[in-house]
Amino acid sequence: MQDTSENVIKKAAPEMITVRQAASRGILPERALRRLIAEKKIPVIRSGRTQYINYGRLVDMLEKGEGAIWE
């Protein structure tokens, strides 16, 4: 069976932003974000020295209290 446009589910690419950009949006200070990343409580993708956060997932995690961020 060939995929037609009716059978294909399109997903939007996640919004990947740097730690500094996430901090500038006012969710958490940059230092707090970097600490949570170092503690592996926030997943990131690294490209060289730059760390990228999935912004939508970060917001969801903070709203739901996932990942024991606040322990």
8 within a domain of the structure (yes/no): no
Question: Is residue 7 in some structural domain?
Answer: no
- 50 within a domain of the structure (yes/no): yes
Do the domain assignments include residue 31? Answer: yes
SS3 36: helix
SS3 60: helix
Structure tokens of 59?
A: 């917001």
Structural domain tally of the chain? Answer: 1
* Residue 9 belongs to some domain of the structure: no
- Does residue 62 lie within any of the structural domains? yes
In a domain, 39, yes or no: yes
pLDDT tens digits, the chain, 71 residues: what are they? 555 656 667 778 889 999 999 999 998 999 999 999 999 988 899 999 999 999 999 988 888 876 555 55
pTM exceeding 0.75: no
- Domain range for 34 is 16-68
Phi, psi of 45 (to 5 degrees): -115, 130
